[in-house]
Chains A and B, each alone.
Chain A
Amino acid sequence: MWLPTSANGESSGGGGAAGLGLVQRRLHLDATLLGMLLLLSTVGLVVLYSAFGESLVQVERQLIRLAIAFAVMVVLAQFPPLVYRRWAPWVYAASLALLVAVLVAGELGGGARRWLDLGVVRFQPSEFMKIALPLLVAWLLADRELPPGFGRTMLALLLIALPVGLIAVQPDLGTSILVAAAGGSVLFLAGLRWRIMAGLLALLAAAAPMLWYFGMQGYQRQRVLTFLDPERDPLGAGYNIIQSKIAIGSGGLYGKGWLNGTQAHLDFIPERHTDFVFAVLAEEFGFIGVLLVLALYFAVVARGLWIAHHAQDSFGRLLAGGLALTFFVYFFVNIGMVSGLLPVVGLPLPLISFGGSSLVTLLAAFGILMSIHTHRRLWSS
């Protein structure tokens, strides 16, 4: 039933060449997106080699993780969107159950309860939510006429708030922001009334002081205060921001050159291979390098939105658009925090930071995006 049919009326960009068309039809991959993702991953390996002080061992480790994550992407791209639609509520329910399990029986790591240990594997159930939530919201809203009515909107908000709340109390602010963005963007694309959005924003503003006093941990408050005035704690919490700004700023227009970033190499940048890897990139490759990487990131988001635009049903459109926008929020928050535009919330830079579990989720999302794109014609025939 899902056998790829011959290409007719090929309208997608990048499908022009016969070879690329083959990738698209036989492997159900989007060649354009795949190319950009590979390019970003390569940039990541190059920057990591420098951030690790020219140690190949860690770069090899990242390479293995990338290979696994890309394999997951290829596998997920093979299932047609209908499969995702059918499984959406179950995936969500299972992920939510796992989140509750984490709070009850999770492993403590660095003061936060995020991990579930199943003996063989240790994993972060909050990662699943990055995909399960947009799936569920797209399933819920695409089932009826769009834009959704008031009741359906409220139901969607509740289903978003549940996992976001559970992740926020772990506490994992970065992931909860991403998950909220994933659910919220689907809701937004479905045509959420501007009036309701304004109401929600007002509610959030009103809740902020409450959150400050009752919802936030001491270290989170510290982060916000430090963000507002990094100099108040130059050797403690503010140190990261000050040093990463120095690294970025001293990169100048052209950068200090690969492997020549003094800030990064002299250990002035903490977490220089994870959350703050962008500072290394900016220092060594300068504004020109930053613009090129930003352009690549933008191209990925644009391609995702383009896929959403050309999707053949509401479910596909909402899901693809939601995943693309989540990816945007991902790197926007990271670069924003490293450059001192946003408070530090602890999120890696997608495809470039060192790390495994979020890489798999990230490329899994792109696998689903590609599936939406490459299974299109089957629906219309």
Chain B
Amino acid sequence: MSLDLLRDKAGESRVVRRRLLVAGIAVLLLMGLLAGRIAMLQVAGYQHYASLSQENRVRIAPAEPTRGLIYDRDGRLLAENVPAFRLTVIPEQVEDMDALLTGLQEIVELSATDIERFRDLRERQRRFQEIPLKLRLSESEVARLAVNRHRFPGVEVKAHLTRFYPYGAIGSHAIGYVGRISEQELRQVDASQYRGSSVIGKSGVERFYEERLHGEMGLVRLETNALGRTLRTLERDPPVPGEDLHLTLDIELQRVAETALGEHSGAVVAIDPRDGAVLALASQPGFDPNLFVTGITLEDFRGLQSQPGTPMFNRALRGRYPPGSVIKPFLGLAAAAHGTVDPDEEFQCNGLYRLPNVSRPWRDWKRGGHGEIDLTQAIAQSCDIYFYDLAYEMGIDAMHEWMTGFGFGRPSGIDLPGELTGVMPSREWKRTNRGEPWYHGETVNTGIGQGYMLATPVQLAASTAMLANAGRPVRPHLVAATEAPGEDSASRLAPAEPLVAPVTLQNPALWEEAIGGMAEVMHGRRGTARAVAEDMPYRMAGKTGTAQVFGLAPDEEYDEDEIPRELRDHALFIAFAPVGAPRIAVAVIAEHGGSGSGTAAPIARQVIDAWLLEQGELPDVAADVGER
């Protein structure tokens, strides 16, 4: 502080005080500038801005478009819009809000969520704006409110179009459902189109075709008074309703498929092999899509989550299973075309298969073996040894190339969101995914659809259709046609290109070998599914399969003793019919169903019977066959 004594404090004070004066004058001048600016707007510009303000009294409000309807192939409504009643409150007209809510609770069931949302909205909105309290009232609630109307001034019951799925859980995994728009979804769509909308497609067709179903937002010009209350509607720019969708799905066949699966969790996919039209797409267990429409309650959602079998999981699209023996017709065909095997050559099966330099033998499912068999019989009797040897001789590289050609390890390209891709392993696949080289033993396992190989039901159905078509691929699809609002007729959607190229063989007769083997599965003396084909009025080609692994990653140890009974053996079955002029191709997976012939094949037969016999498809077919 010694310096302090030498300082010219008076001089310093003069410096600062002079500057304070300068600052004060600057402040005064700038204040004048502000006042002048405001005067310019409020005094000089008053007329101009007052008239602009008058124009501003017109307020623009969004108008929600009506969502397009969804029909099945016979014109049955699968998703419609029904008026549902909402309970709304105008706070301005309510004297004692707490008393009102207590009073209403005697008549209407109000959840804690309802009341919380109401209070939240009430803080943010104007007193004269109506605020929804409950989104869906039951009929008795509407009636009770009507009787008690005089007790609740400011309370109104308003009709509002709400999505409704008349078939409930049937077909829910294909049709999907709508639900409240989330912040994240709003960022992915054209948000300006959703200003008036409260719901958006969440899964299935509802989500995949969201843009077509939604329509275009309209505008309403409203004249408002000084307090913002609407006086009258000046002009309407009506919303454009969404397009209606006509599905290829047959809801009755869908019901048959789901009923046939019964208590099994699993999937059934049925497509028309001629064009890839999906006739049924079942995934069990299912869920009631109506629960989601006005926002699923926490209670309901927990209920769904805690149910065994994950009902929200679409097994048809996202379930990845080892295909097991159902790949044998494809692989046999490939090996014959590749020149690895001669289809007519007799092969000796004694029940054991050994690789050179490997001490542990591979066993056949049938103790003692099948004896002398050719390709057709190897398919019909599902001889494992035949295919172990075939795979080893053919090698993983050729197998990968041919099986990929049939669609294995590739997406089917179906018009539903979230399809997963199966796995058709190769040396390169293993190197990138496992960081290991390929071993001969793995080639042998791949020969019977085990090991790393995985397939989804929808992809299996598409591959089966390709076999039925003698190599012509189809792309599975659920929407056949769309109908724009105001138009009388629906316009067909141009079918999307298949993701797989056609397979052409130098010797087309080989198709008959594979298909013949599959027909033997059903109709042959020793076919694995001959019991299922009893009294069948048409000829069917099928193949049974059993998947030995569930829930185990391919690199995990498989220890049968440690795996509970209910986690063993998925039953698989693929089929198409009638042989010669196929109208339906089916893939069935029944989780923990045991054997393919015992569980999965009967399910497929019920579906095919329903389609060919009850739906009256067979007579046409007979005529077709007759013409040939």
Q: Which of B33-41, B130-138, B379-387 contacts A (4 or more CB under 8 A)?
A: B33-41
Say if the beta carbon of A189 comes within 8 Å of chain B. Answer: yes
Q: Considering only CB atoms and an 8 Å cut-off, how many residues of chain A contact the other chain?
A: 58
**Residue A266 contacts which of B24, B48, B228 (CB distance < 8 angstroms)?**
B228
Quick one: CB contact mask for A265-277 with B, threshold 8 Å, 1 for yes? 1111000000000
What mask results when residues 240 to 260 of chain A are scored 1 for a CB within 8 Å of chain B, else 0? 000101111111110010011
Tell me whether B42 and A252 are in contact (CB under 8 A): yes
The reply to whether A188 and B56 form a contact with Cβ atoms under 8 Å apart is no
List chain A residues, Cβ under 8 A from B11: 146
Knowing A53-B126, A262-B53, A262-B57 are in contact, say whether A147-B15 is a contact too (CB < 8 A): yes
B43 located at the interface, meaning its Cβ lies under 8 Å from any Cβ of chain A in the complex = yes
Q: Does B189 contact A (CB under 8 A)?
A: no
Task: State the Cβ distance, B460 to closest chain A Cβ, in Å.
Answer: 46
Closest to B3 in A: A144
Q: Which residues of A contact B (CB under 8 A)?
A: 53-55, 57-58, 144-147, 185, 188-191, 243, 245-253, 256, 259-260, 262-263, 265-268, 282, 286-287, 290-291, 294, 298, 301-302, 305, 308-309, 313-314, 317-318, 321, 325, 328, 332, 335-336, 339-341
Taking residues whose C-beta sits less than 8 angstroms from the other chain, chain B's interface range is: 35 or more
In the complex with contacts A145-B8, A247-B53, A248-B49, A317-B20 CB distance below 8 A: yes
| In contact, A287 and B43 (Cβ under 8 angstroms) | yes
Select which of A145, A246, A290 is within 8 A of B49 by beta carbon.
A246
CB-CB under 8 A for A253 and B228, given A294-B31, A335-B34: no
Can you list 24 A-B contacts (CB < 8 A)? A53-B127, A53-B228, A145-B8, A146-B11, A188-B19, A246-B49, A248-B38, A249-B42, A249-B45, A249-B50, A249-B52, A250-B46, A250-B50, A253-B42, A282-B38, A290-B42, A294-B31, A294-B35, A298-B28, A305-B24, A317-B20, A321-B19, A321-B20, A339-B38
Q: Which residues of B contact A305 (CB under 8 A)?
A: 20, 23-24, 27
Tell me the smallest distance from the CB of B127 to a CB of chain A, in Å.
6
CB–CB A248/B23 < 8 A: no
Smallest CB–CB gap between B52 and chain A, Å?
5
Contact B123 A246 (CB under 8 A): no
With most chain A CB atoms within 10 A of its CB, the pick from B16, B31, B126 is B16
For the complex, give the distance between the alpha carbons of A325 and B20 in Å. 10
Pick the most buried of A144, A246, A294: most chain B CB atoms within 10 A of its CB: A246
Main secondary structure of the interface of B (DSSP, over half): helix
| Chain A residues with CB below 8 A from B127, complex form | 53-55
For residue A11, give the distance in angstroms from its CB to the closest CB of chain B: 15
Does B57 lie within 8 Å of A266, measured CB to CB?
yes
Question: B residues within 8 A CB of A318?
Answer: 16
> Which of B7, B23, B56 lies in contact with A262, CB distance below 8 A?
B56
Enumerate chain B residues within 8 angstroms of A245, measured Cβ to Cβ. Answer: 41, 49
Q: Are A314 and B12 in contact (CB under 8 A)?
A: yes
Residue contact A339 to B37, C-beta cutoff 8 Å: yes
Contact A246 B34 (CB under 8 A): no
B28: A residues at CB distance < 8 A: 298
A248-B42, A282-B38, A290-B42 known; A188+B23 contact, CB < 8 A: yes
Q: Which residues of A contact B57 (CB under 8 A)?
A: 262, 266
**Does B59 lie at the interface of the complex (its beta carbon under 8 Å from any beta carbon of A)?**
yes
A134 CB to closest chain B CB, in angstroms? 14
**Does B310 have its Cβ within 8 Å of any Cβ on chain A?**
no
The answer for the CA separation of A8 and B598 in the assembled complex, in Å, is: 109
For the complex, give the distance between the alpha carbons of A332 and B32 in Å.
11
Most chain B CB within a 10 A radius of its CB, from A189, A247, A249, A335: A249
